[in-house]
Amino acid sequence: MSKKKYAIVLDDSKCIDCKACTMACKMENHVPTGLYNYRIWVAEKPIRGQFPNVKRSFQPSQCQQCENPPCVHVCPTRASYQTEDGVVLVDHDKCILCKYCMTACPYDARYVNEEIKAIDKCTFCYHRLPEGRQPACVETCPPKVRVFGDLNDPNSEVSKLLVEHETFNLKPEKGTKPKLYYIR
């Protein structure tokens, strides 16, 4: 069996900032309450123009599941690691809360989970994948902004979307090679 390479392709032009993704993630992964505790979020892009010529738009985001993850490189205890199929995870037992990974992450994608005393972040709902289930955010998203799948499978929806559409990554200059692709 060939290795998988999981990714999410997002068409954020459809996003209405309903925060279903954030909430599904909080419920699925027991993210504690607190205004700044989240694995994924929806941000409002900077306002363009002034009343009445003003345009709103949103950008959902999360851990970019980098192919070249700085968080893994800096972690002194190897709590942050990368699975064979390229998903970046945190071993909560090994985490010493030094927060190097938080500082290293260019996407601000990690938070301190005070309940388990460890750094926490998006796992692509790694525990759901063996059951053939989608990440909770993908499953619940009303307009299906998010599509999840295997880039190594040319027939997967994500692979097809990348062929059909021009996409971009966030902060490509950081050289982290994110596996979140935004449709332009």
Residues that bind another protein (CB under 8 A): 13-20, 22-24, 26-30, 33-36, 41, 43-47, 49-52, 54-59, 61, 77, 92-93, 95-99, 102-103, 106-108, 111-112, 115-118, 136, 139-144, 170-171
Beta carbon of residue 116, minimum distance to another protein (angstroms, whole number): 4
Burial call 163-179: b when 16+ CB within 10 Å, e when fewer = eeeeeebeeeebebebb
C-beta closer to another protein: residue 81 or 111: 111
* Euclidean distance between CA atoms 158 and 47, whole angstroms: 30
* Euclidean distance between CA atoms 90 and 111, whole angstroms: 12
- Tokens standing for 175? 């050289």
Helix, strand, coil fractions of the chain, as percent rounded to 5? 25, 25, 55
Beta carbon of residue 156, minimum distance to another protein (angstroms, whole number): 19
Using DSSP's 3-state secondary structure scheme, residue 43 falls into: strand
C-beta closer to another protein: residue 140 or 159: 140
* Euclidean distance between CA atoms 178 and 46, whole angstroms: 22
Beta carbon of residue 3, minimum distance to another protein (angstroms, whole number): 27
C-beta closer to another protein: residue 55 or 84: 55
10 Å CB burial of residue 123 (0-12, 13-18, 19+) is buried
- Tokens standing for 99? 């927060």
C-beta closer to another protein: residue 27 or 68: 27
Beta carbon of residue 67, minimum distance to another protein (angstroms, whole number): 19
Beta carbon of residue 28, minimum distance to another protein (angstroms, whole number): 5
C-beta closer to another protein: residue 3 or 34: 34
C-beta closer to another protein: residue 82 or 134: 134
Beta carbon of residue 61, minimum distance to another protein (angstroms, whole number): 6
